Structure 1
Amino acid sequence: MITDDSSERAPSDGPSTTVGRLVTGLSLWWTAVPVVFAAQAFVGASGVRGPLGDGLVLVMLWVCIGGIVLAPALGYATARATGHARARKRFATMGAVSLGFCLLVVLFWQFAMECAPGDPSCS
């Protein structure tokens, strides 16, 4: 006699696996930002000029900005929508670290834009 064991099969992990891969990809994107930023600074400082060098620096800069801003936001939204509590905590922490980094960059930019004492170009 042939029996149907379809009720005993494990459910398909299609959506869960896809969400897990998306969360992992966004985490890796955020983690790779310092490496891409260092590479972008190296390429920019190496003297590679022309459309190719300038384009490469610009693309790498936008990858860094996207990784700092978009990866934690998209990851948090995805984790919240799918109910992944550990991923939600991880992306909240990543967002806080990114916000702190952005605040330090703005602060450094303000100090870098100040004029030196006695500089005649500053009024």
Structure 2
Amino acid sequence: MKTTMTWWWAGAPFILLASVIASVMGTPEVREDVGGMFGPAALISAVAAPAMGFTVALVGRRQQARRRFAIMGAVSGVPVLLFPVFGVLLAECPDGHHC
């Protein structure tokens, strides 16, 4: 179980970049058709895998696995928390506007 959750979490960046990779490889219709689905799927993978793994390790009383999933959650939390801060809250204002 620990390995499955780890691989699921490690695949999140590839899920995020899947539409870009498909576009570069010559299939831009993939990006047009389902490109908006890859971002949320990557976010869910980055958050759900460590949370589920930590829960299973907590119930199973596996301290080493709990430590691994706690670190995975912390690593996932940094970009998940920084995206709203830099992408939404600290977005550049157009000239002449006060945000």
What TM-score do you get using the length of structure 2 for normalisation? 0.76
- RMSD (Å) for aligned C-alpha atoms: 2.7
Structural mapping, 1:87-98, within 5 Å: 87-98=65-76
Tell me which protein shows more helix as a share of its residues.
2
SS of the residue corresponding to residue 115 of structure 1 reads: coil
Structural mapping, 1:35-54, within 5 Å: 35-43=14-22, 48-49=28-29, 53-54=31-32
Cα distance in 1 for residues equivalent to 2:68 and 2:80:
18
Which residue number corresponds to residue 56 of structure 1?
A: 34
Give aligned-pair identity as a percent.
28
AA aligned to 1:48 is: P
Cα distance in 2 for residues equivalent to 1:44 and 1:107:
29
Q: Work out the number of aligned pairs and report it.
A: 97
Gaps of 5+ in 1: 1-21
Distance 1:78 1:54, change over 3 A: farther
Tell me how far 1:39 sits from its aligned partner: 2.1
What TM-score do you get using the length of structure 1 for normalisation? 0.63
2:19–2:38 Cα contact (<8 Å) kept: yes
Which residue number corresponds to residue 10 of structure 2?
A: 31
SS of the residue corresponding to residue 83 of structure 1 reads: coil
Distance 1:44 1:62, change over 3 A: farther
Cα distance in 1 for residues equivalent to 2:45 and 2:69:
12
Structure 1 residues 79-112: Cα deviation after superposition (integer angstroms, max 9, x where no partner): 1111111110000011111111111111221267
Cα distance in 1 for residues equivalent to 2:32 and 2:60:
40
Which residue number corresponds to residue 71 of structure 1?
A: 49
Higher gyration radius (CA): 1
